[in-house]
Amino acid sequence: MSFSMPPAFMDAVILFFFAEALLCISPGPAVLLTISQSMKRGFVTGLWGTMGILTANTVYFILSAVGVGALLIASVTLFTIVKYIGAAYLVIMGIQMLLPLIKSFFSKSKPADDVADLMPKEAAISGKSAFAKGFVIQASNPKNLVFFVAFLPQFVIPSLAAEISLTVQFSVLAIISIVIELIVLIVYILLSIKLATWVKAKAMLWIDGAAGLFLIVIGVGLASMKKLSVVS
């Protein structure tokens, strides 16, 4: 039994591939979290965080396919609640990443020379914790809801439902998206680990602090926006 896609849907898939690749490469909250976790905790922790991010994406794909996501966006009250919860979480995460840098200015102890020297001072983080952070930071970003509900359906072609069902179309796009993001995030993990071997601990604090500040700015920006555009 062979599976073939209609030419029109194949064209849509190709366009989606390039659009999704560009959106995944551009740094966002999920990428910043992956970089931070990987630099401080290594490949396995970064991969756990990535799995959390991809699980959140899978949930959004399902919501989009069954139309629940559209209902959330249609309800101003529900969407506003999601927006503020997401924005608050991003700000909290940003503050947590920024605090070590701020504390370092008031610390009288000699700063560590290597990133590895910071590890004992970091609270132990399990795979479940890294997974949870990845899931929550991706799921709580309301822009992701807009992406899966407003952007993704542009590549689904209802008129081809007789040849390839809408469920199959959504599934194809979901698999492509997950594979692309997995590859991109693994590349970020590997680059982050390599960078961690080059930088001093003080530089790591600045990198983490900058990422935290960026998350705070994104969170405040989301909370203040009346309408959300599709940005990964």
In tens, the pLDDT along 152-189 reads: 777 888 788 788 887 888 888 889 999 999 999 999 99
185 is a domain residue = yes
Domains in the chain: how many in total?
Answer: 1
129 is a domain residue = yes
22 is a domain residue = no
Supply the pLDDT for residue 123.
Answer: 41
209 is a domain residue = yes
230 is a domain residue = no
- The tens-digit pLDDT sequence of the chain (232 residues) is 455 778 888 888 998 898 888 878 877 788 888 888 888 888 999 999 999 999 999 988 887 777 755 565 566 676 677 667 767 777 887 787 788 777 777 765 555 544 444 444 444 457 888 899 899 888 877 777 777 776 777 788 878 878 888 788 888 888 999 999 999 999 999 988 888 777 666 666 777 777 778 778 877 876 776 554 444 3
11 is a domain residue = no
- The 10 Å Cβ neighbour count of residue 110 is 6
120 is a domain residue = yes
Domain that holds residue 146: 32-104+115-224
Supply the pLDDT for residue 131.
Answer: 93
**Rounded distance, CA 117 to CA 200, Å?**
10
The answer to whether residues 38 and 46 touch, using CB atoms and an 8 Å cutoff, is yes
123 is a domain residue = yes
Supply the pLDDT for residue 195.
Answer: 81
